[in-house]
Amino acid sequence: MSLVADAETPTLELRTAAYAVPVFTPRADAPVPVQRGSFPLRVNLRHGGSVDVVLRWQILGVQEAPLLIVLGGISAHRQLAANALDASEGWWPQQVRRGGALDPFTFRLLSIDWIGADGAVDTAIDPDDQAQALATLLEHLQITHVAACIGASYGAMVGQHLAKRLGARLGHLVVLNAAHRPHPFASAWRAIQRRIVRLGAEHEAAHEAVALARQLAVLSYRTPNEFAARFTDKVALDGGVARCAAEPYLDAQGERFANRFAGTAFLRLSESIDLHDIDPADVPVPVTVFAARSDQIVPVEDVRAFAVAVPLLHRYHEIDSVFGHDSFLKEDAQVQAVLIDALAGCGGAA
């Protein structure tokens, strides 16, 4: 059977990845195996009702290796890195690469498109709903053990709920730039983003509003120090209107996002962050935690509170970074070290 499967075949027969399998030695010149599927399922939503969704998944990596689940922020998706089915760069090529911490010749990397990311669900989506969908997908794929779940930002919230659901079937949880609750200030920041989108939707300006909300989100993901170092030009008048140095960057970020994200998708996934609520005591697996002291929307105090309250803390890492919440995407060497340490016991190839 070819490991490069039909992109839309939901019923692939996959062998179960055993935990702590013998070290697998890949051929040095092999292409990265990749599988994709679209799995229709019904999710019983935590906040009422059920929805029929199609969960789009991808598995990148060699079949014999331990399985990792890799989850990013609300704008992330199943495309972790370029592969034979999709040449686009993906959202985490720094880590997901040959020789990287998430080497697809060492691990099998399962990723998904978030429920709601296609704009098809217009009801409240709890992070635990994503975890429920993931757990159902694992059953469908006959995966009985997950060596580790690596979650960043929203993905780390979903990972917490997944750990609660999987229990001993999950070997390790890595929480990057997330805590057990949304911070009230960050919630307010996101609430304003959602209001922008709703205002736009009500006044036939949905695209511009989503772009603007994304600009505001980007601001919250970075830090004043990064902007100070990066946008050094003075504010200038352009056609009689002040234009500050960061605006072209924010414009590009907003436009790129609005071109692929519908207003409903943004509203429901942003909201989902704010619905996150879990008792760290209910996360019953070894946990590695990574935080940046400059994170504006996940204050380090909240991450510390999470780390000290989980029953099985493996390691807590806290760094200075000019990149704030985006440090998981930007501090590549430090994140790699965190991941390598966390995955050391997960049975991948050396």
Q: Which residues are catalytic?
A: 153, 295, 325
Check residue 215 for interaction with a copy of itself (CB under 8 A).
yes
Using DSSP's 3-state secondary structure scheme, residue 179 falls into coil
Tokens of 257: 């996002």
Q: If binding is defined by CB under 8 A, does position 116 make contact with a copy of itself?
A: no
Q: Per CB under 8 A, which region of 129-137, 271-279, 312-320, 338-346 contacts a copy of itself?
A: 271-279
Determine if 85 is a binding residue for a copy of itself (CB under 8 A): no
Considering the complex, state which of residue 249 and residue 316 has its C-beta at the smaller distance from a copy of itself: 249
- Quote the longest CA-to-CA distance of the chain: 67
Among residues 37, 26, 109, which one has the least CA distance to residue 67? 109
* Distance of closest approach, residue 71 Cβ to a copy of itself, in angstroms: 21
- Cα distances from 243 to residues 118, 128, 231, 254, in angstroms, run 34, 42, 12, 16
Does the footprint of a copy of itself cover residue 278 (CB under 8 A)?
A: no
Q: Is 124 in the site for a copy of itself (CB under 8 A)?
A: yes
Backbone angles phi and psi of 242, in degrees to 5: -65, 135
CA distance 95 to 155: 16
282 near a copy of itself, rule: CB under 8 A: no
Q: Which of 75/83 has CB closer to a copy of itself? A: 75
Q: Which stretch binds a copy of itself (CB under 8 A): 14-22, 72-80, 111-119, 206-214?
A: 206-214
- The secondary structure of 80-142 as a DSSP string is -S-BTTB-S--S-TTTSSTTSTT-TTT-EEEEEPPTTTTS---S---HHHHHHHHHHHHHHTT
219 binds a copy of itself (CB under 8 A): yes
The residue among 169 and 304 lying less far from a copy of itself, judged by its C-beta, is 304
DSSP state of 233: S
Burial class (CB in 10 A: 0-12, 13-18, 19+), 241: exposed
153 counts as binding a copy of itself under rule CB under 8 A: no
Q: Is 281 in the site for a copy of itself (CB under 8 A)?
A: no
| Contacting positions for a copy of itself (CB under 8 A) | 47, 123-124, 181-192, 195-196, 199-200, 202-205, 208-209, 212, 215-216, 219, 222-224, 227-228, 230-232, 234-235, 237, 240-247, 250, 271, 274-275, 277, 296, 299
